[in-house]
Structure 1
Amino acid sequence: MHLHSDGKLGAKPQAMTTVPLFRLAFRPFFWFASLFSVLAIALWAGFLSGTLNFSPLGGGHFWHIHEMLFGFTSAIVVGFLLTAVQTWTGKPSIKGYSLMGLFGLWALARVLLIFTPPELETVSIGIDLIFLPLAAFFLARPIILVKQWRNIMFVPILLIMAVLNAVMYLSLYGVIAISYSAISHMMVLMVSLVMCIIGGRVFPMFTANGTRTEKVAAIPLLETLSIMSIVLVIFSHAFVLSSEVKGFLHIFAATINFIRALRWRIWVTFTTPLVWPLHLSYWFMCFGLLGVGLVELGLNTSISLAYHSITVGGIGLMVLAMISRVSLGHTGRMIQVGRVMSFAFMIFVIGVVWRVMFPLFWQHYQMNLIFSAIIWIISYGLFVIKYAKVLFSARIDGRDG
């Protein structure tokens, strides 16, 4: 994914088409999704501690799982892809009133799923289900226009996520005999696939640029195996396979991606705040895949900790680092963060370790979750505060976007 450091397309400056917030998809989705995650985690912590009487659609547990995946994570993925597609294709991506409409649809669904009365639940669910297919349409349009088939794969990925969203609701209402937790695990793996693809495209480049070292050359076979191993893991959940087969597929995916991540040389990035969190997030994803594999083989007892290694450590940390970087590049700023975001990255890692490791040794389940929730709130809260001016203001170079 060729996201240049300055976010330019090489074209002449365009006329300002709308308010800065709606000139490219990363602006509203990155900022408001991050804000939503802070509010959602705070609500979840209040629900867990018993200090908040919280009754969203599906109940607190369903809502937490659904909204962190199909609310927060989906918005980040959509914002990223609908921004990147302009760089890939050289064609304008969604902006202005169209972007306002897509974003408004996402935001409305988030509010409705919290406050909708039972008699209007179908309407709320319907609004939520429109978002991902519509985003896939806006993503496909410029790719098809220039026949850039290399990137068309992200369109079916978004559509599969949309199907999983629908199936998760069907599971909630007992229409299908699959638990919504199982559906959420497939969504986690779909996001892992996106992380795997994007990581392979940009992490070596970001590492070389950020550390002023030589870019690691890709090994085509290793790149293919890394992606296909996660595809196989997804298929293992979609079809009835034995626990042994599923376990070995997860462990294979973890191992091959560990090898890939090791080649990217995390050790050269430790003094580069916008790079080392990306590497570490990939390692957390691999640890999570390994943990799930061990559970399938009966060698590990906590499926929750394994998946939270992927969701909190992999997705949460990667998102925080990527949105911090992309927001700077695509607003014409230097790709550098100061002490505040460096602090946010460091404490977030503490929160990940606390969430996925401490429960193995310290059996205060509720306290573990609340502590890690507080760290998420602080880390993403710092992004919301520090990047408000960046995302709500025009590019500093006067260009549109």
Structure 2
Amino acid sequence: MSQLFSKSPALLGLAFRPFFLCGGVFSAIAIGLWISNLNGWLTFSPYGGSYFWHAHEMVFGFVCAIIAGFLLTAVQNWTGIPGIKGRALLVLFALWLTARLALALNAPTLISATLDLLFLPAVIFFLAKPVITIKQYRNLLFVPILLLMFVGNLVSHIALWRGDLAMALQGIYSAAWLVVMIMTILGGRIVPMFTANGSQTARVNNIPALEIATLGTTLFVVLCQASGVAKLMPTGVNFFICLLAAGLQLWRVVRWRFWVTAKVPLLWSLHISFLFIPMMLLLLSIHYLAQAWPSLSVLPFVSYSTALHVLFVGAMANMILAMMARVSLGHSGRPLIPAPLMSAAFLAIALAALSRTLFIWLAPNASYWLLNATACLWLIAYGLFAIIYWPVLTRPRLDGKPG
């Protein structure tokens, strides 16, 4: 027990440590509970019911934890002001963890909703404070995105309280769509640099017009989908804008030269995650094509859920695993060379995305087995991360520096 407490100060050195480690572990537990309940192996009655809880916690429990860990660590690099750590970080982490327990144990609505809703505003405060202090306002662009995610969470709780499950899920989906915007913004900032440094090749400079067009069309899709306006728009318009956004995203990703990353797991895993964004948009465009012009669609029907799971399991889960693996090494003073087994983890989560989406789309009769395969692959991927990175995230930096 004393040995455990001796590691606590290192675990609270910077936000990435507790949120990456426990966020990854939580995702594995959440998927395990979900698939066990789905198979009838256990009776699980969380806040809002198992379906709402699964969708809500994968976004506001898992994804938001990783976003908090990443942004509250990165803000130190942006501003030069020490990031949240120690007791303040412990309180923030405890708030996140308490909310997860409250929802899983189906605590009273007021308690569960209040604890859950407090987390993102707290993250926004600790993110914005150092940025405003040095007037580095360009890095405040993540604040409105997090605020809108908070609004989506608020909508989900209010709608659930009113018994409107469809609106509650819309609130959750709106936050997930906003993560697409975070990924798109971060991609332009970090992927060309990471690719050049990791592959020892020349850096590909962004094309301003392509960046503007990609960000603009993606933002339009995100806002329409997140707000629910897409449901009121002509399906033909949804088809064209999703197809255009998919093409621009794919052009952008191809320019980053994923083929030069084959020997660098920390790079090819990151590139895979961004390839899933145009794939998601393409499948969504096929979904709308079948609705607008059924006679023109020669492919099997793509459900909205399938397209969204390309986002959840494909883009988000792959990027999260790749970024956690990289950031954890870099910020703990270690070389950017992951353990060999992390390549298996990266492959497992990529296969999980294909199993949950493309394979189910093409072989719907095998959905039961593919859902179970997806869960197993997720558990392998994030289980390996937790085992491999436990000592990295719970021990001090190798170079003796704080953080």
TM-score (norm 1): 0.92
Separation in 1, partners of 2:238, 2:90:
42
Separation in 1, partners of 2:196, 2:31:
35
| SS of residue paired to 2:266 | coil
Separation in 1, partners of 2:187, 2:320:
12
1:9 maps to none
Structure 2: which amino acid aligns with 1:389?
P
Structure 1: which amino acid aligns with 2:134?
V
**CA contact 2:339–2:388 (8 Å) conserved in 1:** no
1:6 maps to none
Separation in 2, partners of 1:314, 1:19:
33
Residue 318 of structure 2 corresponds to residue 328 of structure 1: no
Residue 24 of structure 2 corresponds to residue 34 of structure 1: yes
| Cα distance, 1:140 vs structure 2 | 0.3
Moved over 4 A (4+): 175-178
Separation in 2, partners of 1:368, 1:178:
25
| Cα distance, 1:314 vs structure 2 | 0.3
CA deviations 1:193-248 (Å, max 9, x no partner) are 11111111111111111110001011111112222222111222323433222232
From 67, 70, 82, the counterpart of 1:80: 70
Structure 2: which amino acid aligns with 1:140?
A
From 244, 253, 260, the counterpart of 1:268: 260
1:359 maps to 360
**CA contact 2:154–2:171 (8 Å) conserved in 1:** no
Separation in 2, partners of 1:115, 1:150:
40
Of all paired residues, the percent bearing the same amino acid is 43
**CA contact 1:207–1:215 (8 Å) conserved in 2:** yes
CA deviations 1:130-159 (Å, max 9, x no partner) are 000110011000111111111101111111
CA deviations 1:152-202 (Å, max 9, x no partner) are 011111111111001011222337695333333222210111111111111
1:7 maps to none
From 175, 178, 195, the counterpart of 1:207: 195
Separation in 1, partners of 2:374, 2:223:
31
Structure 1: which amino acid aligns with 2:240?
F
2:344 maps to 343
| 1:112-131 aligned within 5 A | 112-117=102-107, 120-131=108-119
Residue 361 of structure 2 corresponds to residue 369 of structure 1: no
From 292, 295, 301, the counterpart of 2:284: 292
Separation in 1, partners of 2:319, 2:253:
14
From 134, 159, 162, the counterpart of 1:171: 159
CA distance 1:383–1:205, shift in 2 (3 Å): same
Structure 2: which amino acid aligns with 1:195?
M
**CA contact 2:12–2:90 (8 Å) conserved in 1:** yes
**CA contact 2:313–2:349 (8 Å) conserved in 1:** no
Residue 51 of structure 2 corresponds to residue 61 of structure 1: yes
Structure 2: which amino acid aligns with 1:151?
N
- State the aligned residue count: 382
CA deviations 1:280-299 (Å, max 9, x no partner) are 11111211112122212325
1:13 maps to none
Deviates more, 1:249-258 or 1:81-90: 249-258
| Cα distance, 1:385 vs structure 2 | 0.5
The CA RMSD measured in Å over matched residues stands at 1.4
| 1:1-400 aligned within 5 A | 19-117=9-107, 120-174=108-162, 179-237=167-225, 238=227, 239=229, 240-297=232-289, 298=291, 299=297, 300-362=301-363, 363-400=365-402
Separation in 1, partners of 2:391, 2:92:
22
Separation in 2, partners of 1:43, 1:85:
34
| SS of residue paired to 2:265 | coil
Separation in 1, partners of 2:70, 2:264:
22
| Cα distance, 1:26 vs structure 2 | 0.3
2:4 maps to none
**CA contact 1:46–1:52 (8 Å) conserved in 2:** yes
Separation in 2, partners of 1:175, 1:154:
32
Instruction: Flag the structure with higher helix content.
Output: 2
**Which has the bigger relative contact order, CA under 8 A and spacing at least 6?**
1
CA distance 1:185–1:359, shift in 2 (3 Å): same
CA deviations 1:320-359 (Å, max 9, x no partner) are 0100000000000000112210111112222221111211
Structure 1: which amino acid aligns with 2:384?
L
**CA contact 1:37–1:72 (8 Å) conserved in 2:** yes
Separation in 2, partners of 1:160, 1:386:
34
**CA contact 1:189–1:230 (8 Å) conserved in 2:** no
Separation in 2, partners of 1:248, 1:235:
16
Separation in 2, partners of 1:353, 1:229:
25
Unaligned ranges ≥5, structure 1: 1-17
| SS of residue paired to 1:153 | helix
Structure 1: which amino acid aligns with 2:205?
A
**CA contact 1:29–1:103 (8 Å) conserved in 2:** yes
Separation in 1, partners of 2:278, 2:344:
24
Unaligned ranges ≥5, structure 2: 1-7, 292-296
